[in-house]
C-alpha cells in the first residue's frame, strides 16, 4: 500500500495535472481536426505549407525505400561516441559510399562537405532514419527544414518533443480519474518526479531564451514567425542533431553534444565547426579544425601526395627503362635487372600513390537581357503589414531600382527581406503607397522553395524542353543544361532522383532562360556546393541586368553586391561600409546582447 507521504505527493501531482488541464487553450485540443480558414497573405501560406510538408514527408519516405545502407557498429554499445566501420550506401543502385567509416565523437561539431550529388544529404537522412546501426540510447534529431507554420506556440512546440514525459503525464491523468490511490499511478508520479516533469516548461523556456526568444516571443504562434525563427524552434527541439542546410546563422556553436551539419557557407563552417568531414570519391575523410584549417591541411596533404606520386612515377619509369635495356644483357646486368623488376613488383603490390584528382570547374550563364530605360522599378511611400492585427513590416519606403542595381539585403530574421522581394514582384500588395514597374521589365526570382515546383517525374532535359518549346533540338538543350553542371546521365534521370543541389541547378537553368532583366535571389546558396556558389557569383557579375540578393553568405555578398541595405525597424537604410564591417557590427551587437542577458 502507498505510504502517507506518497499519497500527499500523489495529491499534489494530481492537482498540478488538473491545473495544467485548466490552462490548456480550447483550440489546442482540436487543432489537428480544425484547421483555420485560408485568409489573405499570411494564413494562405500557412495552409499550403502544411500540405507541402506532408508531400515532402512522403517524398522522404520514397527516398528511404530506394536507399540501401550497410555498416558495423565498432564503438562500445554504451558509448556516447559513434564509430561505424565498413559503411556503404547506395541510392537507386548508384554507390555513394563504399567501405568507409563514420566517426562522430561527443562534444564535436562536424561540417559535412563535398560536391553536389555525392551523397551528403543522403548520409544524414540514413542517420536520421536509423538505417545505420547507431545505439538506441543515442537520440537523433534530423533537421532538414524549419518547423511548419501552426497554431502552436514556440514553447509548446519545444515541450511536445519530450515524448516520454508526455506519455507518462497522459497515462497518469487517465489513471487519476479511475483510482487516485492505485500503485501504478504512484509509480508514474515517481517516474515523472525523476524526469523533473514539473520543470519541463522552464527547461524549454531556457533553451528558447538561449536562441534569442523573449518571453513574449515564446508565447507567439508558430505561423506568425518567419522561416528563420521557425528554424530556431526546430533547433531547440534537438538532442543529438543532424542539421541539413541551416540557412540561418543560428546558435549552433553552443551545441554541446554531437552536431553534423551540411552547409556551403564558409563563414558558417568557420564559426561553428570543430571538425570537417569531406565526402570525396565515395569515402569520408576527416580533418580537425574549421573550414579554413581544412583547406590549409588539404592543400598540404595534396601537395605531399603529388610529390610522392611524381617520385614513384619517376622510379617506375627508371626501373622499367633499366629492365628493358639490360634484362637480356650480361649475367651481372641481367641479375640487376631482375632485382629491379622484383622491387617494382613490390611497389605495385604495396599500393601506389594516386594522382590528386581536381574537381571539374563549373560555369553558370545568364543570357543578355537587353536594355530598358530607367526607372525600372519605383517604390513610392510604400507601407506594408500582413493584417490589421499585426504590426507594420515597412513604413513609408521610397527608393528606385535600375539595371545597374546590385544590392544585398541584410538584417535580422523577420525584418522583411523576403517580404520586400515579394512586394517588388507583385506577389504581395502594399498596404499603402505604390510600386511602379516598367511595362517591359521581366523579373526572375529564385527563392528557397523553388525546387518544390519542379515536376519530379520528368528528367531535367524533359522539363526544360517542356518549359521552352521554342528550343526544338535536344542536343541544343543538353548544352544549355550542361552549363549548369548537369551532364550525361543526370540530364535524363528523373528529377526526384537528383540531389537537392542538382535540383537547384535545374532551377537556375530554368530561371536564366526566362531571360530576366532583374534577378531577385533569395538565399540562392542553399544546397549549392562552394564551387557552384563561386560559379554563380561569376555569372551574376557578368550579367547585364540588375540584382537584389538576400543571403546569409557574407562571402557571396562580398563577391557580387555593390550596395548593402539593412532591413530593420520597419525601414531600409544604406550601409556605407563593406559587408565585413557589417559582420563585425553584428558580432559586437550579439556579444553585447549576450552580456546583457
pLDDT at site 245:
53
Cβ(82)–Cβ(103) below 8 Å: yes
More confident residue, 42 or 565: 565
Cell (9 digits) for 530: 562552394
d(CA 490, CA 494): 8
Find the helix or strand (DSSP H, E) in which 179 lies. none
Cell (9 digits) for 422: 515579394
The answer to whether residue 374 scores a pLDDT higher than 60 is: yes
What is the average pLDDT across 357-383?
Answer: 87
pLDDT at site 182:
65
Q: What pairing do the DSSP bridges indicate for beta strands 82-91 and 67-73?
A: antiparallel
d(CA 415, CA 567): 6
d(CA 92, CA 94): 6
Condensed to tens digits (0 to 9), the pLDDT of residues 193-214 reads 554 555 667 878 887 887 778 8
Buried b (16+ CB within 10 A) or exposed e, 129-157: bebbbbeeebebbbbbbbbbbbbbbbbbb
First to last CA, the chain: 49
pLDDT at site 285:
96
Find the helix or strand (DSSP H, E) in which 153 lies. none
Cβ(212)–Cβ(146) below 8 Å: no
DSSP 375-419: PSEEEEEEEE-SSTTS--SEEEEEEEE-TT-EEEEE-STTSSHHH
For each of the domains in the chain, give its residue range(s) and CATH number, in order of start: 377-596 (3.40.50.300)
| pLDDT, the chain, mean | 81
d(CA 347, CA 7): 79
Cα separations (Å) of 257 from 4, 241, 278?
A: 41, 8, 21
Cβ(464)–Cβ(510) below 8 Å: yes
Cβ(146)–Cβ(51) below 8 Å: no
More confident residue, 582 or 185: 582
d(CA 429, CA 423): 6
The answer to whether residue 26 scores a pLDDT higher than 90 is: no
Condensed to tens digits (0 to 9), the pLDDT of residues 355-368 reads 888 777 678 899 99
- Which residue, 398, 395, 401, is CA-closest to 416? 395
Residue with grid cell 487517465, as numbered in its chain: 174
d(CA 270, CA 449): 26
Lowest mean pLDDT among 228-242, 468-482, 570-584: 228-242
What is the average pLDDT across 447-471?
Answer: 91
Residue with grid cell 516548461, as numbered in its chain: 201
Beta bridge partners of 568: 571
What is the average pLDDT across 573-592?
Answer: 85
d(CA 56, CA 53): 5
pLDDT at site 154:
87
Condensed to tens digits (0 to 9), the pLDDT of residues 460-510 reads 999 999 999 999 999 999 999 998 988 888 999 999 888 888 999 999 999
pTM exceeds 0.85 for this model? no
DSSP 498-549: S-HHHHHHHHHHHHHTT--SEEEEESTTTT--HHHHHHHHHHHHH-SSEEEE
d(CA 488, CA 473): 16
Cβ(514)–Cβ(539) below 8 Å: no
More confident residue, 196 or 545: 545
Cell (9 digits) for 243: 542539421
The answer to whether residue 156 scores a pLDDT higher than 60 is: yes
HSE, CB side, 13 Å, CA atoms: give it for residue 2: 20
pLDDT at site 28:
38
Cα separations (Å) of 361 from 186, 496, 535?
A: 67, 25, 8
d(CA 314, CA 310): 6
Q: Based on C-alpha coordinates, what's the Rg of the chain? A: 29
Condensed to tens digits (0 to 9), the pLDDT of residues 57-87 reads 565 666 677 889 999 999 988 888 999 999 9
d(CA 33, CA 36): 10
Number of other CB atoms surrounding residue 573 within 10 Å: 12
- Which residue, 104, 159, 168, is CA-closest to 135? 104
d(CA 73, CA 75): 6
**540 Rama sector, left if φ>0, alpha if ψ -120 to 50, beta otherwise:** alpha
Cell (9 digits) for 595: 552580456
- Which residue, 476, 540, 531, 541, is CA-closest to 508? 540
Amino acid at each position: 500500500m502507498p505510504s502517507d507521504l506518497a499519497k500527499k505527493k500523489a495529491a499534489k501531482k494530481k492537482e498540478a495535472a488538473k491545473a495544467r488541464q485548466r490552462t490548456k487553450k480550447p483550440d489546442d485540443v482540436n487543432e489537428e481536426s480544425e484547421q483555420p480558414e485560408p485568409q489573405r497573405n499570411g494564413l494562405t501560406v500557412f495552409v499550403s505549407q502544411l500540405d507541402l510538408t506532408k508531400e515532402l514527408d512522403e517524398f522522404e519516405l520514397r527516398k528511404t525505400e530506394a536507399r540501401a545502407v550497410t555498416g558495423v557498429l565498432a564503438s562500445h554499445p554504451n558509448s556516447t561516441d559513434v564509430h561505424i566501420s565498413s559503411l556503404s550506401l547506395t541510392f537507386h543502385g548508384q554507390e555513394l559510399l563504399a567501405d568507409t567509416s563514420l566517426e562522430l565523437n561527443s562534444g564535436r561539431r562536424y561540417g559535412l562537405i563535398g560536391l553536389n550529388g555525392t551523397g551528403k544529404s543522403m548520409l544524414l537522412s540514413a542517420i536520421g532514419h536509423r538505417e545505420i546501426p547507431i545505439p538506441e540510447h543515442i537520440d537523433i534529431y534530423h533537421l532538414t527544414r524549419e518547423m511548419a507554420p501552426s497554431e502552436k506556440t514556440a514553447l509548446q512546440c519545444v515541450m511536445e518533443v519530450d515524448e516520454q514525459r508526455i506519455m507518462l503525464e497522459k497515462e497518469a491523468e487517465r489513471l487519476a480519474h479511475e483510482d487516485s490511490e492505485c500503485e501504478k499511478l504512484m509509480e508514474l508520479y515517481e517516474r515523472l518526479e525523476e524526469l523533473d516533469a514539473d520543470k519541463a516548461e522552464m527547461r524549454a523556456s531556457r533553451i528558447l531564451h538561449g536562441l534569442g526568444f523573449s518571453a513574449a516571443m515564446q508565447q507567439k504562434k508558430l505561423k506568425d514567425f518567419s522561416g528563420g525563427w521557425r528554424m530556431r524552434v526546430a533547433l531547440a527541439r534537438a538532442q543529438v542533431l543532424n542539421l541539413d542546410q541551416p540557412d540561418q546563422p543560428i546558435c549552433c556553436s553552443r551545441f554541446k553534444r554531437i552536431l553534423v551539419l551540411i552547409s556551403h557557407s564558409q563563414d558558417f563552417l568557420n564559426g561553428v565547426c570543430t571538425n570537417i568531414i569531406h565526402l570525396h570519391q565515395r569515402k569520408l575523410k576527416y580533418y580537425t579544425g574549421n573550414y579554413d584549417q581544412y583547406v590549409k591541411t588539404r592543400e598540404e596533404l595534396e601537395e605531399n601526395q603529388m610529390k610522392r606520386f611524381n617520385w614513384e612515377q619517376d622510379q617506375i619509369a627508371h626501373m622499367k627503362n633499366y629492365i628493358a635495356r639490360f634484362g637480356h644483357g650480361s649475367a651481372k646486368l641481367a641479375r640487376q635487372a631482375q632485382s629491379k623488376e622484383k622491387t617494382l613488383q613490390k611497389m605495385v603490390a604495396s599500393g601506389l600513390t594516386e594522382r590528386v584528382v581536381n574537381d571539374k570547374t563549373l560555369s553558370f550563364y545568364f543570357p543578355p537581357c537587353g536594355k530598358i530605360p530607367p526607372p525600372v522599378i519605383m517604390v513610392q511611400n510604400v507601407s506594408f503589414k500582413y493584417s490589421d492585427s499585426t504590426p507594420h513590416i515597412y513604413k513609408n519606403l521610397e527608393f528606385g531600382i535600375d539595371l545597374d542595381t546590385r544590392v544585398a539585403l541584410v538584417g535580422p530574421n523577420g525584418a522583411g527581406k523576403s517580404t520586400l522581394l515579394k512586394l517588388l514582384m507583385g506577389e504581395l500588395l502594399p498596404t499603402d503607397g505604390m510600386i511602379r514597374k516598367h511595362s517591359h521589365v521581366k523579373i526572375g526570382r529564385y527563392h528557397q522553395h523553388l525546387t518544390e515546383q519542379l515536376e519530379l517525374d520528368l528528367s531535367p532535359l524533359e522539363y526544360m524542353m517542356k518549359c521552352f518549346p521554342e528550343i526544338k533540338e535536344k542536343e541544343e538543350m543538353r548544352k544549355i543544361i550542361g552549363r549548369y553542371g548537369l551532364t550525361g546521365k543526370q540530364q535524363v534521370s528523373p528529377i526526384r532522383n537528383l540531389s537537392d543541389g542538382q535540383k537547384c541547378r535545374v532551377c537556375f537553368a530554368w530561371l536564366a532562360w526566362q531571360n530576366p532583366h532583374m534577378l531577385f535571389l533569395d538565399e540562392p546558396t542553399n544546397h549549392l556546393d562552394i564551387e557552384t556558389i563561386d560559379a554563380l557569383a561569376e555569372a551574376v557579375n557578368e550579367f547585364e541586368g540588375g540584382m537584389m540578393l538576400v543571403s546569409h553568405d557574407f562571402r557571396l555578398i562580398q563577391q557580387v553586391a555593390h550596395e548593402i541595405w539593412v532591413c530593420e525597424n520597419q525601414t531600409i537604410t544604406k550601409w556605407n561600409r563593406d559587408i565585413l564591417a557589417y559582420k563585425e557590427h553584428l558580432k559586437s551587437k550579439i556579444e553585447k546582447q549576450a552580456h546583457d542577458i
